[in-house]
Amino acid sequence: MKTLKPLSDFFKAIEKDHRISITHIGIYAALLQFRTQKGFVNPIEVYRNEIMKLAKISGPVTYHKCMRELNEYGYISYLPKRNRNQRSTIYFNS
């Protein structure tokens, strides 16, 4: 059940946050799934295409917009890498 707590906490936090869309939720859920696959580490290091595939998102512009917003809204700390051959770092804010 430890792995479900971050998702449950996220849903509680977004109840009154009207800025959050279904795309944000999909990306956040994909990030949590990726984190679980990696042994529940914090931070995680990801390639954009790994999360886009899990979240069923095809547009990189949408991905970057939602990741930037999740960072701005305080749900994650997103440290993007501009080099496609390097993984971005994502911290989950508790």
pLDDT the model gives residue 7 = 85
Percent of the chain residues past pLDDT 90, beyond the cut: 84
How much is the pTM?
0.92
Look at residue 30 and tell me whether its pLDDT is greater than 80. Answer: yes
Q: Where are the domains of the chain?
A: 5-92
Mean pLDDT of the chain: 93
Fold annotation for 5-92: Arc Repressor Mutant, subunit A (1.10.10)
- The one-letter amino acid code at 12 reads K
Mapped onto helix, strand or coil, the DSSP state of residue 1 is coil
Contacts of 69 (CB under 8 A, 6+ apart): 19, 24
Look at residue 1 and tell me whether its pLDDT is greater than 60. Answer: no
